[in-house]
Amino acid sequence: MSFIAPLAFALAALLPVIIALYFLKLRREQRTVSSTYLWQELVRDVAANAPWQRLRVNLLLVLQVLFLITLILALARPFHWTHASTGDHLILVVDTSASMAATDVAPNRIGAAADQARRLAGSLPAGTPVTLIAAGDEVAVLLSSSADRTQLDRALGVLEPSGGADLATALELAAAIAAGEPNAEVAVLSDGGVSMPEHITAPPATRYVAVGASGENQAISALSLDPGAAGQGLAAFVRVTNYGQQEAARRLTLTAYGVEEAGAAPSGALVTARDLTIPAGDGLAMTFADLPAGTVYVEARLAGEDLLADDDQAWAVAPVVTGAQIQIVGPGNRFLETALSLLPGVEVTTISLEDYEAAWADPQAAEAQSASEDPEAPINWLTVFDTVLPEEGHYPAGALLFIGPLHSTEFFSVTGVMEAPAARPASANEPLLRFIDLRDLAIQQAAQLALPKWGRAAIVGGSGQSSDGQAPLLVTGEDEGRRLAVLAFDLRGSDLPLRVAFPLLLANLVDYLAPGTTGALPENVQPGQPVALPLPPQAEVAVVRAPDGRETRLPVSDTSLLYANTNDAGVYQVDWEAEGARWLLGRFAVNGSSPLESNIAPRAELALGGSGGDSIAAERPVRQEWWRWLAWGALALLAIEWLVQYRGALVRLWERIRGGGAQQEERLSRPVRVREAALRGEERHRPGRQGPSGVL
């Protein structure tokens, strides 16, 4: 215990003064009384007031001394250091990232954070509201300005660690809640293993409650599958990192999974098991070559125990060849073929119009081209007709791109020819023209198109026959579920293939027409992170198989879906269905390991805005003062002293209020009057007379 104003103890000098006043109380004069009725009481009263005698116990003296001592303590403002909350509204921000599952504190860090939150809420006066914000991958308000501690306990009980922590958004939300309450206080309960963006600021009354005690943890920090040397099978790269301060011994096992039968779940085979000694603060990197043929993914595990189990296992998937193709029908165009072949994850084939029509003459080939019913056949996600057009109705499934059409088709109408049109974007914010400059684009000739009902113009231009300059040169859109694009001019009759804009324009067009060709499933994602599923245009249903075998069917309304149920770690398989057939789209792995979450050493300060930014210091104790309680105690002692001093008058007043009889009043008041008369000296002593009552 300490004191803010210790000089107040100088008032203790008044204590001897009060005691001395009791020693020096006025001595009574000797008087003679008529009887011995009040003899003993008067003797005690006189003895107590004789000067410089031994101090006798007196209730009024005790009360006055206690009052002065209590008053002095209140003026000195005693306090003790505490971690209790002192605001009028406590806003709790709890980190629910994966590192909060560490078991260095019981039962784990998320449980310890919940206990700390209960302690902070319990230190508040009754009725003080509490708000609880869970800072995970998504920020959630679990309790809003509630004084019910039972509701707080229930809300704290549902906290589960997973993924990362969006603490920046949580602090912004807490600041918005505290904006209208000047005495609101924000408490951040975390181990500090979070990343904060630049220029983030915390609310003024924010403190950081550090959770955790140790940083001893090992993790599989990297796992990937890559083609082996000389193209011989797959090789697995594994890195194990020791984030602790002590050397650790762990056992690494690597298991490869492959598909033995169509539609069956992958079966695993142990590849290797190796004992490791990992230096403190360092890691070991290993490569395992010549994995079994047909491996689709691998799993690495660390045997043994550490403080965080979630990062002791990891998965990596092998690249999936889907057979998706872009087919070019035309006389051949080196610029077009080269630009399309540079797109990732696709195969580009070129076929002449004659061979294309000959394939349609074969009924089985025509059926495969139009319906794509054969699951084993390559799938043309996009067909490009370069300056040629097939016969009516000879259009394959999937998206279509027409370049330099010569005449009208069932999808669009050609009404004429434009000479040397000046091209420009139809809109300043056209997404197909990102980072593309069309200024001074030279075009020799272009077909004059009537804008179809299904399309919109991305590039417009004009010549003498189209003076308004709004004739469409590039049209995109969707007709009955099929995406289409029409480029009105021949690439050979322009300088577009010689510009940097050409591969960018083709990539944007292909990404729009067939998103699955330019995008692929990510190989590794964090728990809770949404995954975009790039589907071919003809997909009707997407099927996602979770690590536990559960399948989720997602109807396809667009060629790109978001799958967000990725909370479980493991390998997810994505298929798509069309016309009753099923194809594999790919696989992705959800791993809980990340350097930020695996480095579980608790931070003393919560850094804001990177290494050069501000920080929230760890929780500091605050002063808890007692002077208010002492002041109330002094006031209570003063009231008791007054009651004791005037207890006789109060008794008489009470009896009068009760309406007692005259006889009772006389009986009670007579000895009092006699005593008062004796004390006032109303009866004088007669010299020389001695009676049985004695002389004072």
Residue 504: burial class (beta carbons within 10 Å; 0-12, 13-18, 19+): middle
Q: What pLDDT is attached to residue 238?
A: 93
CB 124 within 8 A of CB 622: no
Q: What pLDDT is attached to residue 4?
A: 83
Class of domain 324-517: alpha beta
pLDDT tens-digit profile of 646-659? Answer: 887 788 888 788 77
Averaged pLDDT score across all residues of the chain: 81
Confidence of residue 46 (pLDDT cuts 50, 70, 90): low
Q: Does CATH place domain 89-213+602-620 in 3.40.50.300?
A: no
Least confident of 92-101, 511-520, 669-678: 669-678
Q: Beta strands 267-278 and 313-317: pairing type?
A: unpaired
pLDDT tens-digit profile of 310-338? Answer: 899 999 998 765 555 799 999 999 999 99
H-run or E-run covering 545: strand 541-545
CB 329 within 8 A of CB 294: no
pLDDT tens-digit profile of 61-86? Answer: 888 889 889 888 888 888 766 655 66
Q: Which fold has domain 518-590?
A: Immunoglobulin-like (2.60.40)
pLDDT reading at 467 higher than 70 = no
Least confident of 393-402, 457-466, 679-688: 679-688
Q: What's the whole-number mean pLDDT along residues 538-544?
A: 88
Question: Which runs of consecutive H residues, i.e. helices, occur in 287-351?
Answer: 334-341
Q: What pLDDT is attached to residue 474?
A: 96
CA proximity to 410, closest of 372, 448, 453? 453
Q: What's the whole-number mean pLDDT along residues 500-525?
A: 79
Intrachain domains 324-517 and 518-590 with the same fold: no
pLDDT reading at 45 higher than 70 = no
Residue with tokens 């084993």: 376
E strand segments, 389-501 = 399-403, 413-419, 424-425, 445-450, 455-461, 471-479, 482-487
Quick one: three-class SS letters along 253-282?
EEEEEECCCCCCCCEEEEEEEEEEEECCCC
Distance CA 170, CA 192 (A): 14
pLDDT reading at 16 higher than 90 = no
pLDDT tens-digit profile of 597-639? Answer: 899 998 888 766 443 445 555 555 656 677 888 889 889 988 8
CB 543 within 8 A of CB 553: yes
Residue with tokens 């490569």: 287
pLDDT reading at 385 higher than 90 = yes
pLDDT tens-digit profile of 477-498? Answer: 988 878 899 999 999 999 999 9
191's CB contacts (< 8 A; 6+ apart) are 95, 99, 100, 102, 109, 210, 211, 212, 600, 602, 603
Distance CA 172, CA 216 (A): 32
Distance CA 307, CA 491 (A): 62
pLDDT reading at 104 higher than 70 = yes
pLDDT reading at 696 higher than 50 = no
Least confident of 14-18, 357-361, 364-368, 577-581: 364-368
Domain boundary assignment for the chain: 2-80+629-680, 89-213+602-620, 324-517, 518-590
